[in-house]
C-alpha cells in the first residue's frame, strides 16, 4: 500500500486543520506516494528509535512529536540531530507526525489521558478549531436511499432529518462541512456518480468545537495527595511533581492536557477544575498556580507515550476494514529523557 492511504485515513480522524499555528504536524521526511510495508508507531523520533526502525525493517515512522520542530540551516552530520535525518533518508524511511491535531481530535490524545484517569462527564478545555455544520440534500435512486442514509449516519455521524421525499428519492442530513467531500467520495463507491446528486446549504447554528485538553469528574473524590499517587500509578511513572497548598484537599473535578500545558492553567480554573494534570510546569508558573489555589500534578511530558498503544489499535482496526497489506508495530523503546533518583 502507499503511505498516502494511511495518512489520508488518519487525517479523517485528526485533520491537519485542527493543529495549532506554527505547529509542524504532517509529513516530515519522505515521499507520501512511496509504498510501505511496516510502520513503527512512536512518541518521539530519536536516534535510538530510527535505529529500531532500521533493525525491524520499517519504512514508515508515525510519531506524535515532530522530528523537525525547527528548520535545519545546514546538514552538518557532526550534529546528532542532523545525522539522524541522514539515516532516515538513507534508509528511505517516511516520517509523519501528528502533534497538536492529535491533541485536539475527538477520541485523540487528551481523551486517552482523560480515560486513563477515569474521568467522567468529559468536555473540552482550551477552545480550538470550530467546524461549521451544513445541510446536505441528497437525491439518489429509490433502491439506494436506505444504503446511502445508513452510510452517512454510521460512517460520518450525519444527523438524518425528516424525509423530504421527491418521488421517494430525496432526503436531507446535517453534517460537519469537512465531511462532505469524503462522504461524497464514499457514496460514489457504491452509487454511480451520474445517478445521484446533492446540494449543500450552510447552517447558521450547529457545528462542532474542537478543544485542546479535557476536563471532567473523578468517579469518587480523593485527596490531592491520593490523586497524585493515582496519577503516578495510571501513567506508570517513577516520580512526579505535585504543586499543592493543601495535600488533604478533596479533589473531584480534574483538567488534563498532555505535553507542556502550564500556560493553560487559567483555562483549568475557569472550567472549575480543582486539579490540573500536565507536564513541563515552569518554576514561576508553579508559583502562580499555588497563589491561585490550584493543585497541579506534573507527571512529565512522556505520559503522552499512551499514544503508541492507541494509535496502533486504530491503525490495526483500519487495516482490517480496508485490507491494508502493511504491518503495524509499536516502538518498544522508552524515550523519556528523565530518570528519577
pLDDT 10s digits, 246-264: 999 999 999 999 999 999 9
Q: Is 225 annotated as a binding residue?
A: no
Shared domain check, 138 and 11: no
Q: Is 287 annotated as a binding residue?
A: no
Looking at the domain assignment, is residue 158 inside a domain? yes
Chain centroid to CA 206: how far?
Answer: 23
- Of 153, 187, 206, the residue at which a domain comes to its end is 206
Q: Is 103 annotated as a binding residue?
A: yes
Looking at the domain assignment, is residue 335 inside a domain? no
Provide the 10 A C-beta neighbour count for residue 339: 7
Shared domain check, 113 and 91: no
Give pLDDT, residue 206.
80
pTM confidence score: 0.87
Percentage with pLDDT > 90 across the chain? 88
Distances (CA, A) of 100 to 19, 20, 36, 39, 213: 5, 6, 25, 21, 10
Shared domain check, 118 and 138: no
What is the CATH number for 167?
A: 3.30.70.120
Q: Which of 45, 43, 119, 55 is nearest to 85 (CA)?
A: 45
Shared domain check, 139 and 160: yes
Shared domain check, 235 and 115: yes
Judged against a pLDDT cut of 90, whether residue 160 lies above it is answered with no
Shared domain check, 260 and 114: yes
Q: Please, what is the angle between helix 306-322 and helix 109-117, to 10°?
A: 120
Give pLDDT, residue 198.
95
The residue range of the domain holding 254 is 109-127+212-299
Judged against a pLDDT cut of 70, whether residue 213 lies above it is answered with yes
Looking at the domain assignment, is residue 337 inside a domain? no
What is the CATH number for 268?
A: 3.40.1390.30
Looking at the domain assignment, is residue 341 inside a domain? no
Q: Which of 315, 320, 337 is nearest to 62 (CA)?
A: 315
Give pLDDT, residue 161.
82
* Distance (Å, whole) CA 315 – CA 326: 10
Instruction: Report CA torsion sign: 209, 214, 215, 218.
Output: positive
Give pLDDT, residue 163.
62
Judged against a pLDDT cut of 70, whether residue 216 lies above it is answered with yes
Shared domain check, 158 and 117: no
Query: Nearest-5° angle of CA 309, CA 312, CA 316?
Result: 140
Looking at the domain assignment, is residue 268 inside a domain? yes
Q: For residues 189-214, give the mean pLDDT.
A: 92
CA dihedral (226, 227, 233, 238) in degrees, to 10, reads -80
Looking at the domain assignment, is residue 336 inside a domain? no
Shared domain check, 137 and 119: no
Looking at the domain assignment, is residue 339 inside a domain? no
- Grade residue 70 by pLDDT with cuts at 50, 70 and 90: confident
Looking at the domain assignment, is residue 69 inside a domain? yes
When the pLDDT of each residue in the chain is averaged and rounded to a whole number, the result is 95
Shared domain check, 194 and 144: yes
Judged against a pLDDT cut of 70, whether residue 167 lies above it is answered with no
C-alpha cell at 224: 490531592
Shared domain check, 73 and 26: yes
- Of 153, 179, 206, the residue at which a domain comes to its end is 206
> How many domains are contained in the chain?
3
Lowest pLDDT segment from 148-152, 264-268, 304-308, 329-333: 148-152
Shared domain check, 157 and 96: no
Shared domain check, 324 and 309: yes
Pairing of strands 241-243, 295-298: antiparallel
Q: How confident is the model over 88-122, as pLDDT tens digits?
A: 999 999 999 999 999 999 999 999 999 999 999 99
* Distance (Å, whole) CA 29 – CA 26: 9
Q: How confident is the model over 261-301, as pLDDT tens digits?
A: 999 999 999 999 999 999 999 999 999 999 999 999 999 99
Lowest pLDDT segment from 64-68, 160-164, 225-229: 160-164
Judged against a pLDDT cut of 60, whether residue 164 lies above it is answered with no
6 and 315 Cβ atoms separated by less than 8 Å: yes
Amino acid at each position: 500500500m502507499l503511505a498516502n492511504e494511511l495518512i489520508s485515513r488518519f487525517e479523517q480522524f485528526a485533520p491537519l486543520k485542527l493543529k495549532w499555528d506554527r505547529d509542524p504536524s504532517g509529513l516530515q521526511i519522505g515521499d507520501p506516494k512511496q509504498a510501505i510495508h511496516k510502520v513503527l508507531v512512536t512518541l518521539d523520533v530519536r536516534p535510538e528509535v530510527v535505529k529500531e526502525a532500521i533493525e525491524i525493517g520499517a519504512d514508515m515512522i508515525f510519531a506524535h512529536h515532530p522530528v523537525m520542530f525547527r528548520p535545519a540551516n545546514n546538514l552538518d552530520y557532526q550534529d546528532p540531530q542532523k545525522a539522524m535525518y541522514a539515516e532516515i533518508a538513507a534508509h528511505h524511511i517516511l516520517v509523519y507526525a501528528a502533534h497538536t491535531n492529535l491533541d485536539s481530535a475527538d477520541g485523540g490524545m487528551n481523551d486517552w489521558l482523560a480515560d486513563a484517569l477515569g474521568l467522567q462527564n468529559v468536555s473540552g478545555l482550551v477552545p480550538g478549531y470550530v467546524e461549521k455544520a451544513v445541510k446536505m440534500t441528497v437525491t439518489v435512486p429509490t433502491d439506494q436511499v436506505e444504503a446511502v442514509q445508513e452510510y452517512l449516519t454510521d460512517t460520518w455521524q450525519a444527523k438524518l432529518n425528516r424525509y423530504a421525499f421527491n418521488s421517494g428519492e430525496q432526503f436531507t442530513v446535517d453534517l460537519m462541512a469537512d465531511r462532505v467531500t469524503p462522504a461524497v467520495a464514499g457514496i460514489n463507491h457504491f452509487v454511480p456518480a451520474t445517478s445521484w446528486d446533492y446540494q449543500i446549504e450552510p447552517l447558521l447554528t450547529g457545528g462542532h468545537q474542537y478543544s485542546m485538553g479535557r476536563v471532567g469528574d473523578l468517579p469518587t473524590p480523593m485527596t490531592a495527595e491520593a490523586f497524585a499517587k493515582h496519577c503516578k500509578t495510571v501513567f506508570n511513572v517513577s516520580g512526579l511533581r505535585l504543586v499543592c497548598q493543601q495535600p488533604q484537599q478533596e479533589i473531584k473535578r480534574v483538567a488534563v492536557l498532555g505535553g507542556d500545558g502550564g500556560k493553560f492553567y487559567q483555562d483549568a480554573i475557569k472550567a472549575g477544575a480543582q486539579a490540573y494534570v500536565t507536564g513541563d510546569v515552569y518554576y514561576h508558573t508553579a508559583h502562580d498556580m499555588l497563589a491561585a489555589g490550584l493543585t497541579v500534578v506534573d507527571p512529565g511530558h512522556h505520559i503522552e507515550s499512551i499514544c503508541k498503544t492507541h494509535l496502533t489499535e486504530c491503525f490495526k482496526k483500519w487495516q482490517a476494514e480496508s485490507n491494508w497489506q502493511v504491518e503495524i508495530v509499536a516502538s518498544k523503546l522508552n524515550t523519556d529523557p528523565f530518570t528519577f533518583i
